[in-house]
Amino acid sequence: MNAIEIRNLTKSFGEKQAVCGLNMTVPMGAIYGFIGENGSGKSTTEKMICGLIHPSSGEIKLYGRDYTDNDVRSRVGVLIEAPGCFPNQSVWNNLILQATNLGIKDAKKEVIKALKMVRMEGAASNKYKNCSLGMKQRIGIAMALLGEPALLILDEPINGLDADGMRIMREVLTDITKNYGCTVVISSHILGELEKIATHYGIIRHGRMIREMSATELENSCPTYVALKARDMSRAKALLNLKYSRVIEADGYLRVYDAGSSEEIVTYLYENNILVSEIMTDKISLEEYYIDLMNEKGGDR
Amino acid sequence: MNEIKFEKTTLSKKLKTMIGVDFRRLFTSPLFYIMMGIALIMPILILVMTEMMDGMVTVDPNGNETIIKGFDNVWQIIGSKSDAQGAGGGLDMMTMCNINLLYFALAVIVCLFVTDDFRCGYVKNLFTVRSSKCDYVISKTLIGFFSGACMIILFFAGSMLGGAISGVGFDMDGVVGSQIFMSLMAKIFLMIVFSSIFVLMSVIAKQRAWLALVGSLGIGMLLFMMIPVISPLDAGAIHVILSLVGGVVFGVGMGAISTTVLRKTSLI
């Protein structure tokens, strides 16, 4: 059974179609990186999964049940945009309110546990309005973690977090998926960070899912390349272009995509009197893969 | 990996938790205590000031003299007798400056309480863990009813204090204690009618508190003259029953409309 299954989901706001015929499958226990440009329909899709806005048509199933099923919804934790907290109430009070709302018997214990998970125990008595942006995001995560959620939906949760905050977030998300079997859907523009934790990816563009794959599939479809620095870069590029089909210059390096091995390139350039000063083999990152995909699908609507 | 289990949530449990959250919020909200303070102090101020002004003469630009008349007894601030001119009649001081002002105070409590949920995004937390909009409407209407009932009781207590401070008499003027009690009960039950209307206005306005307030106060003005007729000072059991039945019918009707509004519109 999948945690989320969406079929032909559509949402229109007047004339504008924000989501059109979207299909999405999130396996149980996955950390699903939901990627797309601004206005691609990520947040709208997440809001529909959460029941905050109503789909124009299509089907959303959470753990095999309709998304409006109260029993399933009581195990969904959400952080959409900013946390929904009362600014004049303390962090503690806000979390207790949500714990009560979830019907948690030992609300205090659960709130302490959630605050510890996001390393916010010391800020419980602070008024929410006095917290920094990063703290607010962590409070939002703590709120979403109350009641041992089976499904977490996080919209841009790492925005505004410092390096330490991002590390904590990574640890928390990995921990809850491993230890509690929680499924996480996380949308973010910080692809480098997402790449470290996601087990599955969904890429959305203009309201349509253009690619869905596991991290392994992504790794297999990400080509390796040889990056090198040579004494005479322009001549080296010209020479490499004669032998290899895809050679680009990026970050001060020449990248050769369909090279057999680095030795082969070094030998080839040496034979043509060009000395290689630096050489390494690497894979393209999620960010590069995403940008390539967007360029490739540029004209699609 | 742990197996995912979904606990069956019953309607009563869901409603109980929702009401629990709302009461916790109400009791930690400064607005609630401010409004309760106003309900207590308002009758004292009205009684003391009208007593001070009693017998004073005002002259308008045309030279017409008007003698300001204060309250004859404390009970007039609770309501007017059904045969009095004020009950369903003109807008004299006895009709305007009395306990019925609390229905406007209730609009402030309900509108700010409900629109605050939308303004700070709390509805996101609420409706992602439960999709029942009906619970929400019931809970908010009950909060309004409870606040209204508290204000009426505090206003009554304030009236007693105001009477003692200002020296306005406590003579019953043909009204018995049980009738005053019935009148207060009728006014309390009428709070359900107003609470449900204000909840509807607030869920329509969502985060726009000003719109909720303008709408609620506007409708409150329209229904204002109904209050002294349904809950006169010499009220009987029929008035209480009428208020209760009216409150329930109105509450259910307005509640159904509010629920539909929440279901059919986007929450953020």
pLDDT of A104 over the 60 cut? yes
Count of residues for chain B?
A: 268
What are the boundaries of each domain within chain A? 2-219, 223-283
pLDDT of A161 over the 90 cut? no
pLDDT, residue B152, reads: 96
**Partner-chain contact B21 A101, CB within 8 Å:** yes
Which residues, numbered 190 to 219 in chain A, qualify as contacts with chain B under a Cβ-Cβ cut-off of 8 Å? none
Nearest Cα residue to B43 out of B53, B31, B51:
B51
Closest Cα in chain A, distance from residue B38 (Å): 22
Cα B75 from Cα B56, distance rounded (Å):
22
- Provide the greatest CA pair distance for chain A: 76
* pLDDT tens-place string over residues B90-118: 445 555 678 989 999 999 999 999 999 99
**Partner-chain contact A102 B6, CB within 8 Å:** no
Percent of chain B at pLDDT exceeding 70: 92
pLDDT, residue B239, reads: 92
Pairwise pLDDT comparison (B140 vs A288), residue with the higher score: B140
pLDDT of A301 over the 50 cut? no
Pairwise pLDDT comparison (B63 vs A31), residue with the higher score: A31
Mean pLDDT, rounded, of chain A: 87
The partner residue sitting opposite A73, judged by closest CB among B25, B128, B264, is B128
Cβ count within 10 A of residue B12: 8
Using CA coordinates, name the residue in chain A closest to B1.
A181
**Partner-chain contact B129 A73, CB within 8 Å:** yes
- Domain covering A2-219: architecture: 3-Layer(aba) Sandwich (3.40)
Closest Cα in chain A, distance from residue B243 (Å): 32
pLDDT, residue A69, reads: 85
pLDDT of B69 over the 80 cut? no
pLDDT, residue A260, reads: 74
- Domain covering A223-283: architecture: 2-Layer Sandwich (3.30)
Please check whether residue A190 is in contact with residue A35, taking contact to mean a CB–CB distance below 8 angstroms.
no
**Partner-chain contact A70 B1, CB within 8 Å:** no
* pLDDT tens-place string over residues B118-159: 999 888 888 887 657 898 999 999 999 999 999 999 999 999
Q: Which two tokens stand for residue A161?
A: 């977090």
Contact residues, chain B, for A75 at CB < 8 Å? 4, 6
Cβ count within 10 A of residue B238: 10
Contact residues, chain A, for B2 at CB < 8 Å? 180-181
- Strand ranges (DSSP E) for chain A? 2-13, 16-27, 31-36, 57-62, 65-66, 76-79, 151-155, 183-187, 200-205, 208-214, 224-230, 247-250, 253-256, 276-283
Percent of chain A at pLDDT exceeding 70: 98
Q: Is A6 left (phi over 0), alpha (psi -120 to 50) or beta?
A: beta
Cβ count within 10 A of residue A101: 24
The arrangement of strands across the sheet holding A253-256 comes to A247-250, A253-256, A224-230, A276-283
**Partner-chain contact A84 B121, CB within 8 Å:** yes
pLDDT, residue A4, reads: 95
pLDDT of B49 over the 50 cut? yes
Poorest-pLDDT segment among A146-150, A230-234, B69-73, B235-239: B69-73
> What does the pLDDT average to over B164-185?
86
Which of A66-70, A200-204, A280-284 is predicted most confidently? A200-204
Contact residues, chain A, for B128 at CB < 8 Å? 50-52, 73, 76, 78, 153
Phi, psi of B208 (to 5 degrees): -90, 90
* pLDDT tens-place string over residues A176-235: 888 778 899 999 888 888 888 899 999 999 999 998 999 888 888 777 888 888 888 889
Pairwise pLDDT comparison (B173 vs A275), residue with the higher score: A275
